[in-house]
Amino acid sequence: MFTTRSTILGLNERYPWAAGVVAVPVTIVALLGVIMLPYLFVPLLVLAGVALVVTEYYALRQETDEHHTRAVAGAWQPDRPAGSNTEMIRGTTNLPQAEWEARARAAAAAAHARAAEARARAEATQARALAAEAEALAAEAEVFEAQAGATEASHAAHARATEARNRAARLRLEADAKSTRWSPRTF
């Protein structure tokens, strides 16, 4: 019973699209069956749901029991990196305690040196990032100054154009006024 469950889960991991291929037609048949023959399909659906819940419950109990059995048997070992410090320090068991302590101090000093080097690299990287940010802000300020200069020049040109239009309009009005004063129609 439980090997079937693991086989189905294995297939589900290998072929994830297969769940949709099976689930969609089964769902359609179940819905049509509930609509057409509710006295037959509703108890069948309830029975199938109960069977799934019971199967999952017993499978979970079996997995938990297997896990406890492996843990009690001592099959589980903690993960350790290949070059761990304890293997380096206690590589030989015939060394006296003073030698072990000296090796431990040397390993600690090497670790402190690596940490100091990493901190120095991080500070240098941070300084480069701050310098790049300062350069970017300076470039942005130059762009804003150029835009402001262009805006001022644009406003000045706009003001000169407006002034020229106004002068042209005044001259047209004066010309119209002069032409209407001396026109033969006014007499």
**Hey, what are 56's tokens?**
């999952």
CA distance 47 to 41: 10
Is the pLDDT score of 177 beyond 80? Answer: no
Q: Hey, what are 178's tokens?
A: 């002069």
pLDDT digits (tens, 9 = 90+) for 36-48: 999 998 999 899 8
Read off the pTM: 0.33
pLDDT at 81: 53
